[in-house]
Structure 1
């Protein structure tokens, strides 16, 4: 144990827990380099930060893909890219299917339903599908909050989504700015940042995170967390790489559980107040025990059910876990 290790925990306790100020990039590197013998202490601190600045509630969300596969971008982690020989093929979800998925999501107690499409950005057909889908969900009597993740947007499209009643938009930066060109070459980190700027200025909530385990260094993980903190999202999604067949990352190793937990805690210490959501890859990276540790290490939101192209845990299993941990599911009227 070094003096630096001891100091960074003490510094974080004062700076983040007591004053609500996130750690800097340099401080986050120190956190990410803490030994396994300090992990329990680190997770406990991250949980204390979450409880103080966010409270005990957990926001539950379901997602559905309205347009799957055939994406023209070359995101190296994604089986939905039309540039790779992955088994995912292009398909559209019809309006009745969208309504049914929203109804099933609301029945779990979830307050958030995110409509996702594998595209560079939405065309007229997709915008129409989303508009009609939201209308049909409301006509079905469903009061769930609706979010979207439809790629990069124009200002006109941002305004359209606001008019549709979309309250939150997900657009992940995916990784640190310095590492992004190694992950995606068909668009830039800056283009994503511009979409996020327009979303924020239009009054929609911003959901932004990324994927851990794509060959980034410890320093780049710290850089990514600091860049997200600068953005100030309302929600940060934490995904862990699922090596997908046919993609350039199919041979990458799964993030080791303790390393992933250390990363979760670091992101909470970088961002004391936003929702920090367990998303894709948690089942593979953590398993049941690690998922509970993450919930006690800074996480306060989860996606229940299946992901876009991967199976998740049954929603009932996650809800039982939250009950065991005495973590109440955030009610709809609390998140409006």
Structure 2
């Protein structure tokens, strides 16, 4: 019974693969109701918010099949070098004025060179001085670089695993899964909070979703972004069917059972899957946070509408 699985998750036990599949087959309304109870008990009903700025776009050396910024594919994504600090400052100030808590500096590529790292460090110092929780998503970093950024004011490091290890060769061939796992471990070793999750709807099966969730639990990451594929013209995933709202909500809900005490943030693809009322629906499925504002290369959900929903939750 779902209630027994709920009690197991509530007690801090890892649910089994069989129990995970029982949730997949269960009534969605019942599963999401229990997911909400787990969320409320572990992380509360306060909606955690974050926003990003695309600080360096395109020409990525990696061949991730879903990504508009890969140099391997002919997409219409913008291409530009690391932006001026003035643009980052302007975006960070607007983010704070809107009441968003966390601001992330995002840069394309497997990892920065020395010159770009210096720019990233300066951007971290700037965002921190504005009074925002400061996050970066800039590829793989060394332990020494992470310590340097932590001392500059970095609060969290974002680095997605994207999918399970067993499915990863289907979506990327230019680096090893172990490289990404090691990047996460190094950030945790440096004492930095880690935001690490995946993208769903790229051809993976439910068993791959369970495998990823268990690994995220074992790694001990504090925040788990849940992204949904929004197929980009020019990538190998062009024309892929977008997930239904029901499947997306079930993904959020079952991840809450495996990761009951983590911040589950619904990020990319939310407005592609949920045509209206997306904020309310993902929250009702057990999410505890959302990325608000625009995404890297496409427009995001209406920011004012999102913040209105969030303010209602907090009132």
Aligned length: 314
1:264 corresponding residue in structure 2:
252
Match of 2:109 among 119, 125, 132: 119
2:15 corresponding residue in structure 1:
23
Deviation of 1:267 (Å): 0.5
2:71 corresponding residue in structure 1:
82
1:3 corresponding residue in structure 2:
none
Deviation of 1:290 (Å): 4.4
Segments of 4+ in structure 1 off by > 6 A? Answer: none
Classify the secondary structure of the residue corresponding to 2:188: helix
C-alpha change, 1:232 and 1:26, in structure 2 (3 Å) is farther
1:131 corresponding residue in structure 2:
121
Deviation of 1:133 (Å): 1.9
- Deviation readout 1:85-124 (Å, 9 max, x if unpaired): 1112421321100111111111111111011111111111
CA distance in 2, matches of 1:287, 1:225: 26
2:38 corresponding residue in structure 1:
49
Gaps of 5+ in 2: none
CA distance in 2, matches of 1:114, 1:272: 24
Gaps of 5+ in 1: 1-6, 329-336
Classify the secondary structure of the residue corresponding to 2:103: strand
1:96 corresponding residue in structure 2:
86
C-alpha change, 1:190 and 1:25, in structure 2 (3 Å) is farther
Superposition pairs of residues 143-222 of structure 1, within 5 angstroms: 143-222=131-210
Q: Give the TM-score taking structure 1 as reference length.
A: 0.90
Q: In 1, are the aligned partners of 2:135 and 2:155 still within 8 Å (CA)?
A: yes
CA distance in 2, matches of 1:275, 1:308: 21
Superposition pairs of residues 308-323 of structure 1, within 5 angstroms: 308-323=296-311
Q: In 1, are the aligned partners of 2:78 and 2:297 still within 8 Å (CA)?
A: no
- Deviation readout 1:51-84 (Å, 9 max, x if unpaired): 0011121111110111111100001100000111
Classify the secondary structure of the residue corresponding to 1:113: strand
CA distance in 1, matches of 2:277, 2:301: 13
Q: Give the TM-score taking structure 2 as reference length.
A: 0.96
Classify the secondary structure of the residue corresponding to 2:246: helix
